[in-house]
Structure 1
């Protein structure tokens, strides 16, 4: 047995490494591109005469469509595998960006940047990609693997935001969106490597679980799952508001041109470390407790930044802290769902949980624009964003993480 271990471990390790790297590439493209949308609010308004509220609404709609489509994309990946779902998603994402590049009206902008991009990202982001990572890794390595994939995915934000800024400044808004569409299409082949399964990651005892309908009933009747779903709303609200409106807010504060792009890129850079750290912490401590502290830290950072004088140093510090807490919620949340309910319906159950996140994203992006148009200020939304962290922390700390798959099969 000892002699066979090196032979068996190395191919499994290679498959898991390829799986994690491929997941990081797909996430880099999808998440990196969507983080550039805040840079286009002002150009759309100035170049095409569209009101900020309408542009923010289009961005908000893509978040809402993403959330509504996520359970269906997750269920399709559960049944057919991730590769065809990712291929479909990259095509829809690129088509949406192309339509937005040529959009002569608000209606076409909502169709492209809102509906089609929302469908596309539901097939190329966490609910499909991290689910594949969860299935392909062993339980003791799952949280770390998801954290590494999320951290690698953050590279897209570091790369895509400056790319979009440079192309937009030199060649215009439309060219920048077309370039981003081509980047999205280039990521499609990496979806082929997401369906490899490790023997450790698909233990038969765990996967002889409930049928989908029974699993849904069990999850929706589980107090911890409901609390996790409600708490995830806050994450979406905070991230969408900041990603969409931070560049415009910094312009109002008379910060130099390009400061918003720099801040978003720094968030992505520090998120690489933050996602890895959250994955590491989730493998050593109770994931719901890590989430609770993460929301508290994020809330303090938001309140302190809003009240502090704006300078290059304060923007950099804020971007660093937000980056460290940015997407670390995702591997922790998906890992907690996997721990409690198993892997068989992970894509569907995480997709339902993620719908709450995206309702928050819709409101964060849209209410930011609406509040600004009505009051000329983002003050109300900044305070709502900070206070929401207290609610999220209070919801996460009491979550019960006892595995329900074991309970259902009579082993506990």
Structure 2
């Protein structure tokens, strides 16, 4: 199937992801100005982002169940409203504690309803199984354009205005997601499901997944992914600033993460359709471990920071089409938003740990070095964990009437 023949839901989903994830990935450059405003250490902002990611994950299984039952359109619209409200309340906060509610809980709720789990769940219901990894890769890749587009814009807003104004501009930007949600249609085409999938209840689907060992290995691998990407997104700007490099170096490095993630996500998704997803996933994590080890070992310069952004960006969210593709391949599309939502919750526990522990370690040791090396070890562990997964589709038998 040519990418140009994908249904409209794919393209609307891409637009929603550009806004949702573009804003989310820019939060790292707000750490220092917000910390200066409230006169707090970095652990405060790190914990607020950690709460956001924990809530992002905690809401996700329930949001996924709601999307499977009521449709993605309503869920995305509600998420856009929560996202905008959280950003606006952050901009007018007068105490640091308010950010745990606005930037933490409300934005976390908004993200859970407007990001990959809901969008890919909708896509899975209208794209044939043999093309899902490619469709997921395209959606992830194009959605990743938001990082490339929004982060430089956020940097420009901070350079010309205050961070409160930047947050308010982002709140207005959320209305685009609400508008795009109107066009999200998820009617399943012929051949997309089978009668056994349709007759399965949610309780049966959960029991089936929980008894599948490979499902828990998928959880473990996505925990590692969450830890790594949120540590980097949250702390890379401060790490680069600590080394005395120019202020725009971090923004450029994160922008390169975004632009190379576009190519990487589609590449890894394409590889997932052509080769065994388990082995492709292990290769991705091996690449991450090498890139991270070289970044910590070699001298940090403007050039090396940019190269790191490009290299880690190429394998940044390639895990998304592969992980979601594995869930779709093994368990089918009927309850994908629910099952992938649970996996994503584990991802967000990792994100919570990566964002918070990074700030905790820095405040305690005055250095990020221990966490950088921890990400290397975790990547190697994730590469090994994907090898024993049984990725064969589960065969269900339709109960015949007496």
Partner of 1:26: 16
Partner of 1:232: 222
Please give the per-residue CA displacement for 1:117-153, whole angstroms capped at 9, x wherever unaligned. 0011000001101111111101111111111111110
Deviation at 1:205, TM superposition (A): 3.6
Deviation at 1:189, TM superposition (A): 1.5
The number of aligned residues is 399
Please give the per-residue CA displacement for 1:360-393, whole angstroms capped at 9, x wherever unaligned. 0000000011111111110111111111001111
Alignment of 1:33-44 (within 5 A): 33-44=23-34
Structure 1 consecutive aligned stretches of length 4 or more whose deviation exceeds 6 Å:
none
For residue 285 of structure 1, the aligned residue among 248, 254, 275 is 275
Higher deviation after alignment, 175-184 or 198-207: 198-207
CA distance in 2: counterparts of 1:342 and 1:13, whole angstroms: 24
Does the 8 Å contact 2:249/2:306 carry over to 1? no
Gapped regions of structure 2 (runs ≥ 5): none
CA distance in 2: counterparts of 1:387 and 1:209, whole angstroms: 43
Deviation at 1:50, TM superposition (A): 2.4
Indicate yes or no: 2:333 matched with 1:336.
no
Partner of 1:218: 208
Does the 8 Å contact 1:136/1:201 carry over to 2? no
Does the 8 Å contact 1:135/1:201 carry over to 2? no
Partner of 1:3: none
Does the 8 Å contact 2:38/2:96 carry over to 1? no
Alignment of 1:384-395 (within 5 A): 384-395=374-385
For residue 189 of structure 1, the aligned residue among 159, 171, 179 is 179
Partner of 2:351: 361
What is the DSSP-based 3-state SS (H/G/I as helix, E as strand, rest coil) of the residue aligned with 1:402?
A: coil
Higher deviation after alignment, 313-322 or 114-123: 313-322
TM-score, normalised with respect to structure 2: 0.96
Please give the per-residue CA displacement for 1:80-125, whole angstroms capped at 9, x wherever unaligned. 1101000000100111111111112121111111000001100000
For residue 132 of structure 2, the aligned residue among 139, 142, 160 is 142
Partner of 1:322: 312
Compute the RMSD of aligned alpha carbons: 1.7
CA gap of 1:69–1:408, structure 2 versus 1, over 3 A, is farther
TM-score, normalised with respect to structure 1: 0.94
Deviation at 1:408, TM superposition (A): 5.2
Does the 8 Å contact 2:16/2:177 carry over to 1? yes
CA distance in 1: counterparts of 2:232 and 2:120, whole angstroms: 24
Indicate yes or no: 2:123 matched with 1:104.
no
Alignment of 1:367-378 (within 5 A): 367-378=357-368
